[in-house]
């Protein structure tokens, strides 16, 4: 058995980090400097009622500052994952009427309707390219879409653009925790005043209502040996939450989707060397070059090129992850197997994040941490108005674990939730069927 010298591996999985605080508690290493801010982009369009931004005391070492909601980068922009990161950064506090976690068809439809009803709305999306619709090669059964050449990503881009045109704000961020129990005593006369809080590494959102729309692309079936055992003790699913712990240390990423590549790019500004482990060949050769290799078409080729050009990236193609290793102190390494090597190899590491390309079918609810009721299969329980067990909290789309996992069903859920929210926040007895057309 061979041993490769390294210090940490990160493996990326679809669900958000279930316990960033657990990682802070159990990991043997602490940051040598303040955590850096993540490089996330967002879209802000003009609206009659935007989310307001204020400065507030931060519970972490990060500073806070008043931020003006001006135009930044659009969802299609080339995000900056490079540069240094350890200089402190700022935490933005946003107050709004509706916070939507998830930017798929359900979340975008809900945002479209709430924005049109003059409810200030923010969409918080981990990655626009990792959901079920985004990885669909072509759309053939969505009403009104007659071009069989339209991809799922193109349809999703159109849905997102439509929502932001009506005033919704779109933010790229990883949600690691929510609070649905706090209330604001200064605003008791306003229904749901600041009662719902969403936490991300660089953004805290306080909303009058909350919509859960993270889908069901979570991994199912068997995890890698050691993965569950060391979750929170070196195994993590959030690079922006935990990347700073690996400053000047070798790391590795297992996974080959666009999301995994983006996470790896973010980590390159901390790591001394990054081992990127992929089970297939993802070479940058032209797809028409006749190489006979099955390419991962979900991958963003531009981001792939940027990752492979980084000096501190070592790519291990056609390599299987076998096991996450560790001891009482946490993760100590991972075992891998390359096709051209007889024996398995151990990479000595201190952290691990696993990303399963293509995801699975498990509702992504880790960040909820038991705050709303789930059914026996892990789906969020809702009524006919998409209300959960907590007032002012709604769940839409595949996170409900519905058997009808279709884009049109998710969009319908978003519409129903939006109308229900409008009724709830404005204390109406009846649903307002149609808002003013603009």
Mean pLDDT value of segment 379-403? 95
pLDDT for res 351: 76
Is the backbone of residue 427 left (phi > 0), alpha (psi -120 to 50) or beta? left
Rounded to an integer, what distance in angstroms lies between the CA atom of residue 348 and that of residue 5? 6
Q: What is the domain partition of the chain in residue ranges? A: 2-33+231-348, 44-78+89-213+372-425
Confidence of residue 435 (pLDDT cuts 50, 70, 90): low
277, 256 contact by CB (below 8 A): no
Bigger pLDDT: 432 vs 22: 432
Rounded to an integer, what distance in angstroms lies between the CA atom of residue 353 and that of residue 12? 4
Rounded to an integer, what distance in angstroms lies between the CA atom of residue 347 and that of residue 359? 25
Rounded to an integer, what distance in angstroms lies between the CA atom of residue 210 and that of residue 205? 10
Rounded to an integer, what distance in angstroms lies between the CA atom of residue 272 and that of residue 314? 11
The residues, ordered by sequence, that sit 6+ positions from 57 with a Cβ below 8 Å of its Cβ are 64
123, 105 contact by CB (below 8 A): no
7, 348 contact by CB (below 8 A): yes
pLDDT for res 253: 84
- Please return the burial class of 404, using the count of CB atoms within 10 Å of its CB with bins 0-12, 13-18 and 19+: exposed
Query: Could you report the per-residue pLDDT of 161-171, keeping only the tens digit for each?
Result: 999 999 999 99
Query: Nearest 5°: phi and psi at 403?
Result: -75, -20
Confidence of residue 399 (pLDDT cuts 50, 70, 90): very high
Rounded to an integer, what distance in angstroms lies between the CA atom of residue 364 and that of residue 254? 20
Q: In angstroms, what is the C-alpha Rg of the chain? A: 22
Bigger pLDDT: 329 vs 153: 153
Give CA separation, 158 vs 102, 109, 119, 122, 205, in Å: 16, 11, 21, 17, 25
Instruction: Decide if 2-33+231-348 and 44-78+89-213+372-425 have a common fold.
Output: yes
Rounded to an integer, what distance in angstroms lies between the CA atom of residue 383 and that of residue 385? 5
| Token pair of 411 as six digits | 């969009």
Nearest to 299 by CA among 290, 315, 287, 310: 287
CATH of domain 44-78+89-213+372-425: 3.50.50.60
- Taking the whole predicted model, whether its pTM rises above 0.95 is answered as no
Nearest to 328 by CA among 217, 230, 227, 212: 230
CATH homologous superfamily of domain 2-33+231-348? FAD/NAD(P)-binding domain (3.50.50.60)
The residues, ordered by sequence, that sit 6+ positions from 3 with a Cβ below 8 Å of its Cβ are 345, 346, 347, 348
How, if at all, do strands 121-125 and 169-172 pair? parallel
pLDDT for res 21: 39
Query: Could you report the per-residue pLDDT of 68-92, keeping only the tens digit for each?
Result: 333 333 333 333 333 333 444 567 8
pLDDT for res 295: 47
The residues, ordered by sequence, that sit 6+ positions from 221 with a Cβ below 8 Å of its Cβ are 360
Query: Could you report the per-residue pLDDT of 208-243, keeping only the tens digit for each?
Result: 999 999 998 766 557 888 887 877 677 766 676 677
Distance in angstroms between the alpha carbons of the first and the last residue of the chain: 67
């Amino acid at each position: 058995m061979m041993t490769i010298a390294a210090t940490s591996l990160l493996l990326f999985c679809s669900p958000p980090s279930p316990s960033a605080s657990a990682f802070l508690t159990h990991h043997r290493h602490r940051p040598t400097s303040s955590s850096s801010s993540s490089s996330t982009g967002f879209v802000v369009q003009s609206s009659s009622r935007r989310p307001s931004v204020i400065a507030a005391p931060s519970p972490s070492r990060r500073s806070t500052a008043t931020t003006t909601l001006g135009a930044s980068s659009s969802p299609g922009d080339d995000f900056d994952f490079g540069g240094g990161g350890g200089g402190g950064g700022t935490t933005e506090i946003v107050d709004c009427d509706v916070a939507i976690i998830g930017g798929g068809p359900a979340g975008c439809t809900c945002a479209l309707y709430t924005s049109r009803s003059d409810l200030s709305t923010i969409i918080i999306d981990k990655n626009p390219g990792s959901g079920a619709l985004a990885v669909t090669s072509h759309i053939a059964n969505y009403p009104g879409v007659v071009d069989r050449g339209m991809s799922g990503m193109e349809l999703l881009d159109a849905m997102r653009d439509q929502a932001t045109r009506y005033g919704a704000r779109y933010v790229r961020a990883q949600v690691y925790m929510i609070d649905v129990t706090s209330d604001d005593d200064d605003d008791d006369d306003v229904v749901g005043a600041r009662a719902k809080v969403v936490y991300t590494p660089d953004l805290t959102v306080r909303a009058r209502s909350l919509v859960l729309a993270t889908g069901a692309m979570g991994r199912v079936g068997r995890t890698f040996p050691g993965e569950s055992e060391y979750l929170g003790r070196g195994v993590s699913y959030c690079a922006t939450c935990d990347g700073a712990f690996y400053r000047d240390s070798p790391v590795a990423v297992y996974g080959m989707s666009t999301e995994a590549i983006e996470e790896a790019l973010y980590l390159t500004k901390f790591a001394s060397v990054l081992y990127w482990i992929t089970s297939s060949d993802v070479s940058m050769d032209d797809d028409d070059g006749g190489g006979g290799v099955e390419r991962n078409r979900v991958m963003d080729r531009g981001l792939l090129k940027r990752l492979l050009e980084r000096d501190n990236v070592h790519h291990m193609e056609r390599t299987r992850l076998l096991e996450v290793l560790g001891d009482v102190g946490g993760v100590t390494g991972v075992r891998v197997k390359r096709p051209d090597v007889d024996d398995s190899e151990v990479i000595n590491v201190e952290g691990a994040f696993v990303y399963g390309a293509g995801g699975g079918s498990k509702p992504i609810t880790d960040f909820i941490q038991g705050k709303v009721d789930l059914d026996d299969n892990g789906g969020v329980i809702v009524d006919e108005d998409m209300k959960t067990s907590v007032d002012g909290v709604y769940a839409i789309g595949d996170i409900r674990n519905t058997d009808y996992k279709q884009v049109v069903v998710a969009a319908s859920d978003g519409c129903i939730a939006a109308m229900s929210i409008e009724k709830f926040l404005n204390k109406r007895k009846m649903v307002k069927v149609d808002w003013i057309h603009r």
